[in-house]
């Protein structure tokens, strides 16, 4: 039951070029900083990354984009990354943009064993191209397929040696559904405690979904855009 590994380098063992990764977090909140940095130190290439966004130019998934390690991005929002834009416009990066709620549900469905579902978002737009359409209650819906990944990389506030996780505030967003949808799920946590110390009523992701866990270090917790009042 002890799923603890020493560090991020040990945690990402087994990730190979060409694999699909789910990467948790929202903006720069709750992203697996240590795992991303460990991947930048490898020669991995041709990765497909599923994430709400692509980080910024010099942080988060933006670091993998800088090293040309990502072949395809499946995301909802990418407006903070100039390198992402450059690679897209020059045909260097394949991109699938998905409405944010649909992306979250596709990840959740993958973890729940639901192969596909219908959703109204995106009908009548480019998102609908090539997708089956059915009408429910007088409204057209698109058929969307679940998302899964070879590895899911997630970040939690606290975790125990059995892999049980507690997220803090906004970091709950994509981390939990992605944790359930990876064949192998790696969790990095700010605080790692022995099994039994977490309140069972506070656990967001049960350890059954987690393959490896480690205590991360040197978290920047950077803010994308800072607005100050006068």
Please, which pLDDT band fits residue 27 given cuts at 50, 70 and 90?
A: confident
Q: What DSSP assignment string belongs to 156-194?
A: EEEEETT--EE--GGGHHHHHHHHHHEEEEEEEEEEEE-
- Which pLDDT score, from 0 to 100, does residue 74 have? 97
Q: What is the mean pLDDT of residues 161-167?
A: 97
Q: What is the mean pLDDT of residues 9-28?
A: 96
More confident residue, 84 or 214: 214
Q: What is the mean pLDDT of residues 141-167?
A: 98
Q: What DSSP assignment string belongs to 53-104?
A: B--BTTBTTHHHHHTT-EEEEEESB-TT-HHHHHHHHTT-SEEEE--HHHHH
Contact 68, 47 (CB under 8 A): no
In the predicted model, is pLDDT for residue 224 greater than 80? no
- pLDDT cut 70: percent of the chain above it: 100
Structure tokens at 129: 């191209």
How far is it, in rounded angstroms, from Cα 74 to Cα 190?
Answer: 27
More confident residue, 170 or 37: 37
Q: Which residues make Cβ contacts (< 8 Å) with residue 199, sequence separation at least 6? A: none
- Which pLDDT score, from 0 to 100, does residue 124 have? 94
Q: What does R_g of the chain's alpha carbons equal in angstroms?
A: 18
In the predicted model, is pLDDT for residue 170 greater than 90? no
Mean pLDDT of the chain: 94
- Which pLDDT score, from 0 to 100, does residue 221 have? 77
CATH code of the domain made up of 8-215? 3.40.1080.10
Give, for 21, the enclosing helix (H) or strand (E).
Answer: strand 20-23
Please, which pLDDT band fits residue 49 given cuts at 50, 70 and 90?
A: very high
- Which pLDDT score, from 0 to 100, does residue 2 have? 86
- Which pLDDT score, from 0 to 100, does residue 229 have? 81
Whether the full predicted model's pTM is greater than 0.85, yes or no, is yes
- Which pLDDT score, from 0 to 100, does residue 230 have? 75
C-beta neighbour count of 9 within 10 angstroms: 16
- Which pLDDT score, from 0 to 100, does residue 156 have? 97
- Which pLDDT score, from 0 to 100, does residue 223 have? 75
- Which pLDDT score, from 0 to 100, does residue 118 have? 98
In the predicted model, is pLDDT for residue 132 greater than 90? yes
Structure tokens at 167: 């997220």
Model confidence pLDDT, tens digit, residues 79-107: 778 899 899 999 999 999 999 999 999 99
Structure tokens at 153: 């990389």
How far is it, in rounded angstroms, from Cα 109 to Cα 107?
Answer: 5
* Residue boundaries of the structural domains of the chain: 8-215
Q: What is the mean pLDDT of residues 186-193?
A: 98
């Amino acid at each position: 039951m002890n799923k603890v590994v020493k560090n991020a380098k040990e945690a990402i063992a087994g990730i190979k070029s060409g694999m699909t990764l789910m990467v948790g977090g929202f903006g720069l909140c709750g992203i697996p900083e240590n795992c991303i940095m460990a991947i930048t130190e490898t020669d991995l290439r041709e990765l497909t990354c599923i994430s709400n966004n692509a980080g910024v130019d010099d942080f988060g998934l933006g670091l993998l984009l800088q090293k040309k390690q990502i072949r395809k991005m499946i995301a909802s929002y990418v407006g903070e990354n100039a390198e992402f834009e450059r690679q897209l416009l020059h045909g260097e990066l394949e991109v699938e943009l998905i409405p944010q709620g649909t992306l979250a549900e596709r990840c959740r469905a993958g973890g729940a064993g639901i192969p596909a579902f219908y959703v109204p978002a995106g009908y009548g737009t480019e998102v609908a191209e090539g997708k089956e359409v059915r009408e429910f209650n007088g409204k057209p819906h698109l058929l969307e397929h679940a998302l899964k990944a070879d590895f899911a990389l997630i970040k939690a506030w606290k975790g125990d040696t059995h892999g049980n996780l507690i997220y803090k505030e906004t970091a709950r967003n994509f981390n939990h559904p992605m944790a359930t949808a990876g064949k192998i799920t790696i969790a990095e946590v700010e605080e790692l405690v022995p099994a039994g110390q977490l309140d069972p009523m506070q656990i967001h992701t049960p350890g059954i979904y987690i393959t490896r866990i480690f205590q991360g270090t040197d978290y920047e917790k950077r803010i994308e855009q800072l607005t100050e009042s006068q």
